Structure 1
């Protein structure tokens, strides 16, 4: 594993490619404070999570267009109501033409409602659980979502966290390409060792710059790849 370059050099490349610091600043993602994240209801989080599951590998605007019908079909995503659906009712929704016909992703709504309910019982609310999770171990939260939830592996879990304002980096193609090219990760990005190495590199840059993980991630992606 090589030594990370100074983040100021990465930032400079991003500025050169995008037209200066002001242009880069406009492209940086926002994050929420822990207190702001705690204000989410379990239903709101299940809705966002479910939407990200359906958007994975699918046309995002189609999912967005159909989402009001999902809110109605799944009782505004109140977890305890979703968990009252019978297998027959779940099947009916998985084949409903007004929704998206996908059995496994439809079932994931129910499975993730169960995960949220279980975690809420332990921590007061799912939002509390997410808000209190330390960002210097954000890949650990990715793993919880992947193991305890349904269809939240890969970038789906991280995209969900980003959508609700939790500070996280994303392993986009550009970010992965950078880390590989600079020999900062010796293992696969899906392995525990690879994720830990990636977390360590991002923690290093965060301590160096004071930027959020989300900002660091976006700046890296702006500094490389076909994104002029």
Structure 2
């Protein structure tokens, strides 16, 4: 039997000023009408921002972002993939960006990933848009395998911020799913836990018609 989402929405509404307000607050503001039309450089920019945000104060990255755009040549994946090795030494000493060598190297490696998909699979945006919406875990696994530093929450945040209808396995989402009997503990790190989380969110989507990103946010809001 498919899981019912109405009780969870009711709890979120109780914590956040009623049903209409909860639905408005939980909307995915990063959603785009057609992800296949988003250019590869903008997607690589979002990806890089998520990689640098991991473990850093997001406000620091945001304050320097114009410098990142300039230093990384507007995140043109073809240019970065081709000149990456030559650019690495310059970038690690570039004061316009956060000079973390591992993350700079990851960006150049991810440029190769994006450029390769752009050339071989009809565009990176098309690749993302064409991936089945009920298989986020499969897409995250693919990005982690082919890219650099895109595992864990970073891959999920990239998908969400790029405009894909992505859930986030945050502590509040996991706590809600423990309450609902989906998870045994308030973390989802194993493949088994993530598969259970994805199955539940797919069930909630099928029953409610709400986007998966919004369901994820409403689950978090249902905690308090």
* TM > 0.5 fold call: yes
| Maintained 8 Å contact 2:71/2:96 | no
Q: Which aligned runs of 4 or more in structure 1 are off by greater than 6 angstroms?
A: none
Pairwise CA RMSD: 1.9
2:88 pairs with 1:101: no
Aligned to 1:208: 207
Cα distance change of structure 1 residues 194 and 120 upon mapping to structure 2, 3 Å threshold: same
SS of structure 1 residue aligned to 2:83: coil
Structure 2 CA distance, aligned partners of 1:20 and 1:100? 42
Structure 1 CA distance, aligned partners of 2:130 and 2:82? 29
Q: Which runs of 5+ in 1 are unaligned?
A: none
| Maintained 8 Å contact 2:188/2:194 | yes
2:58 pairs with 1:60: yes
2:32 pairs with 1:32: yes
Q: Which runs of 5+ in 2 are unaligned?
A: none
Q: CA deviation at 1:41?
A: 1.0
Describe the superposition over 1:186-218 as per-residue Cα deviations: whole angstroms up to 9, x where unpaired. Answer: 597232222221111111111110111011101
Structure 2 CA distance, aligned partners of 1:84 and 1:32? 29
Aligned pairs, how many? 221
Give TM-score, length-normalised by structure 1: 0.90
| Maintained 8 Å contact 1:7/1:205 | yes
Structure 1 window deviating more from structure 2 (21-30 vs 38-47): it is 21-30
| Maintained 8 Å contact 2:3/2:203 | no
| Maintained 8 Å contact 1:142/1:157 | yes
